[in-house]
Chains A and B, each alone.
Chain A
């Protein structure tokens, strides 16, 4: 079993739709979570970063973490064509020999069409 599982998609939605991107993870050591957005042929850029369970909002983006079910989600409201990219979830361990190392999901390819 991979440490972080992410549905690769592709996912295609119309402009204005609510997008839900999801990941599951194993290894319950205390950790924190990130979502990155990667445009084609570019390096990933950080979107959201959270330690705890619950929701965290930033503009049109909401990151949700459910540690009891080991599930992390990213919601995009009012999606725009400029949101078309690959979205990567990642977790980092905050202790032990794996301290600070990130484990990434495979990435979900999202296309928002006008």
Chain B
């Protein structure tokens, strides 16, 4: 069966510090991968998606970036965090675009 992992689970970072969040999927190959952010009391905002290694599409201009160095690994990064980057970051995968998405446990990021 397929499983999706995210780490760290929680993170507290100062403004201006770098960020690296990791997502990995097990039990499947060539998944579509997604990064979402969920602010308190809001729905999910799609940040990036990837259909293959090295292929990244950005949905929202911001100071975040994403990379996919391996088939089942998706990384969210920032060089300098802003206060507004605080939120709950979720990674999701799907076996194909026409299928539903399955979410990881999330990373709660607090920028102080």
Chain A residues close to B by CB (< 8 Å):
4, 6, 8, 34, 36, 41-46, 49, 88, 92, 94, 99-102, 104-107
Which chain A positions have C-beta within 8 A of B99? 100
B43 touches A42 (CB 8 A): no
A100 touches B106 (CB 8 A): no
Q: A9 → chain B, closest Cβ, in Å? A: 10
A100 touches B32 (CB 8 A): yes
Q: Which of B70-78, B79-87, B90-98 contacts A (4 or more CB under 8 A)?
A: B90-98
A107 touches B100 (CB 8 A): no
**Nearest A residue (CB) for B104:** A43
B90 touches A41 (CB 8 A): no
B100 touches A8 (CB 8 A): no
| Listed residue (B42, B44, B106) with the most chain A CB atoms within 10 angstroms of its CB | B44
In the complex the two chains form, what is the Cα distance from A47 to B102 in whole Å?
11
Q: B72 → chain A, closest Cβ, in Å? A: 17
B100 touches A49 (CB 8 A): yes
Which chain A positions have C-beta within 8 A of B88? 41
Chain B residues close to A by CB (< 8 Å):
32, 41-44, 46, 49, 59, 88, 90, 94, 96-106, 108
**Nearest A residue (CB) for B96:** A100
Number of A-B contacts (CB under 8 A): 49
B90 touches A44 (CB 8 A): yes
A107 touches B43 (CB 8 A): yes
In the complex the two chains form, what is the Cα distance from A41 to B90 in whole Å?
11
A41 touches B108 (CB 8 A): yes
In the complex the two chains form, what is the Cα distance from A104 to B43 in whole Å?
6
Q: B97 → chain A, closest Cβ, in Å? A: 3
**Nearest A residue (CB) for B102:** A46
Which chain B positions have C-beta within 8 A of A107? 42-43
A43 touches B100 (CB 8 A): no
19 A-B pairs besides A99-B97, A100-B32 with CB distance below 8 A are: A34-B100, A41-B108, A42-B105, A42-B106, A43-B90, A43-B103, A43-B104, A44-B90, A44-B103, A46-B101, A46-B102, A88-B43, A88-B44, A100-B96, A101-B46, A101-B59, A102-B101, A105-B43, A106-B42
